[in-house]
Amino acid sequence: MTSIEPTDIESTEESELEAGRLLFARPCEFIAAANNLQALPDMARPEVAFAGRSNVGKSSLVNALTGRKMLARTSQTPGRTRQLIFFNLANRIDLVDLPGYGYASAPKTDIRAWTKLTRQFLAGRQSLQRVFLLVDSRRGMGEGDHEVISLLNETAVSFAVVLTKIDKLKENERDKIILETEQKTAKNVAAFPKVWVTSSEKHIGIAELRAHITGLALLDPLE
Ligand SMILES: Nc1nc2c(ncn2[C@@H]2O[C@H](COP(=O)(O)OP(=O)(O)OP(=O)(O)O)[C@@H](O)[C@H]2O)c(=O)[nH]1
Ligand SMILES: [Mg+2]
């Protein structure tokens, strides 16, 4: 039979989920915490970075993906992550936990207050395969997010929007924010045409995101 049956499509998806599960079960090690250009590690592997407003759940998502509660430091207080934190996942891909923007007490609590280093990293890192732009599903996209998106569009850095903390919303509220975020995302040239919906706390969307990141990783040398 030459046609692709629905069962084949399903099994492809399942094999991707399985590949994601296997990769993220492998060791994930801290490599570097950088607060200046010289401290950035070598571009040894493809990288994906987690960006977004302070307190949106970037470090929590890195922990949920890797199944390690304490890998990246999280906090109820915004501004926890102050440096660019690099993790090596099984020598196949690096995960980069970025500082958030928008926590400063100054009125301009957006990307303008974000560190120069983070912007330089996002705009000029050749090994960066994708930026995950995290958006709190209770707030939706804000001014700071739009400024990061402009930067990524201008520098042609591929990004995907990830809604976080979806567990905090009721079922009927979820659809509205997902649709609204999809519409805003679709307007951008550098955007990946899918919005990820996640909860690190309730483990929603984590397996799918693992599978997606695995598709960006170096091939398993043992395969
Ligand atoms: N309910 C719920 N809370 C979450 C979720 N993800 C993160 N949080 C909480 O949100 C707070 C901030 O999480 P972090 O992961 O530290 O956020 P961050 O984006 O890394 O913050 P900065 O490093 O300050 O930029 C913590 O209290 C987390 O427990 C989620 O999926 N659901
Ligand atoms: Mg953090």
| 4 pLDDT more than 50 | no
Instruction: Tell me the per-residue pLDDT of 196-205, one tens digit each, with 9 for 90 and over.
Output: 999 999 999 9
Q: Which amino acid is at 185?
A: T
In CATH terms, 14-214 corresponds, of 3.20.20.70, 3.40.50.300, 3.30.565.10, 3.10.20.30, to: 3.40.50.300
Ligand 1 atom 12, closest CA: 55
Positive or negative, the CA dihedral 192, 196, 200, 205 is negative
Instruction: Tell me the per-residue pLDDT of 144-192, one tens digit each, with 9 for 90 and over.
Output: 999 999 999 999 999 999 999 999 999 999 999 999 999 999 999 999 9
Ligand 1 atom 16, closest CA: 74
Q: Which atom of ligand 1 is nearest to the CA of 81?
A: 23
In this prediction the pTM is 0.93
Residue of 60, 63, 164 with the most ligand 1 atoms within 8 Å of its CB, for mutation: 60
Q: What is the mean pLDDT of residues 10-30?
A: 89
| 12 pLDDT more than 60 | no
| 220 pLDDT more than 70 | yes
> What CA–CA distance (Å, rounded) separates 168 from 165?
6
The pocket around ligand 1, CB under 6 angstroms, is made up of 52, 54-60, 74-76, 78-81, 99-100, 164-165, 167-168, 199-201
